[in-house]
């Protein structure tokens, strides 16, 4: 399914504020509520909209330390890679995991309370997994840009 300009505008509006009603979206786009409702349902059904979430301030809920962990595995067979992926998604403190090409095999984005919590995570969780070869950690000092929005509108840079 190809996205037209209205679909793209709907996606942009919902990424900015997922609590917008169909009526509010329709008003912003100069349309009626029914076609907006139908378009959103179609975007959901076809997987363009995966889910609706609330963005939480990590520091206000006690997750004061964010880190990116570059992970190398000792072995790279399909079975080993799949096992790592199946295990890592079970850890709530791992927010994102990417299988990458380059010096490392995976990059993890984690959030923990503090350095002690980081130590507990790496020592009691990550280090107990099979096949971990090397872990390089980089700690976030300041959040400069935080966004979950996927660029959907045509823009010139």
How far apart are the C-alpha atoms of 112 and 137, rounded to whole Å?
A: 13
How far apart are the C-alpha atoms of 7 and 78, rounded to whole Å?
A: 38
Whichever domain contains 30, its CATH number is 1.10.10.10
Asked if 94 and 108 touch (Cβ cutoff 8 Å), the reply is yes
Q: What is the pLDDT of residues 111-133, one digit of tens each?
A: 999 999 999 999 999 999 999 99
- Residue 129 CB-density burial (10 A; 0-12 exposed, 13-18 middle, 19+ buried): middle
94 within some domain: yes
Residues 127 and 89 in one domain: yes
Whichever domain contains 82, its CATH number is 3.30.70.920
Cβ neighbours for 74, distance < 8 A, ≥ 6 positions apart: 131, 132, 133
How far apart are the C-alpha atoms of 121 and 115, rounded to whole Å?
A: 10
DSSP helix/strand/coil, 105: coil
157 has a pLDDT exceeding 80: no
How far apart are the C-alpha atoms of 12 and 20, rounded to whole Å?
A: 11
Q: Is the pTM of this model over 0.85?
A: yes
The residue-averaged pLDDT of 18-29 equals 98
Residues 19 and 70 in one domain: no
Residues 99 and 37 in one domain: no
The residue-averaged pLDDT of 82-97 equals 97
154 within some domain: no
Residue 2's pLDDT is 87
Residue 27: domain span: 5-45
How far apart are the C-alpha atoms of 110 and 96, rounded to whole Å?
A: 7
81 within some domain: yes
How many structural domains comprise the chain?
2
154 has a pLDDT exceeding 90: no
The residue-averaged pLDDT of 93-109 equals 97
Residues 36 and 80 in one domain: no
156 within some domain: no
């Amino acid at each position: 399914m190809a996205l037209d300009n209205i679909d793209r505008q709907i996606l942009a509006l919902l990424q900015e504020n997922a609590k917008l009603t169909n009526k509010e979206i329709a008003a912003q786009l100069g349309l009626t509520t029914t076609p907006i409702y139908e378009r959103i349902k179609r975007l959901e059904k076809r997987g363009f909209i995966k889910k609706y979430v609330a963005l939480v301030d990590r520091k206000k809920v006690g997750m004061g330390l964010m880190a990116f962990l570059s992970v190398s595995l000792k072995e790279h067979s399909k079975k080993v890679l799949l096992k790592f992926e199946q295990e890592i998604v079970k850890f709530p403190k791992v927010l994102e995991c990417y299988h990458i090409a380059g010096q490392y095999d995976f990059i993890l984005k984690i959030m923990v309370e503090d350095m002690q919590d980081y130590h507990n995570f790496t020592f009691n969780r990550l280090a107990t997994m099979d096949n971990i070869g090397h872990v390089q950690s980089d700690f976030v000092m300041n959040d400069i840009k935080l966004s979950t929005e996927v660029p959907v509108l045509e823009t010139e840079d």
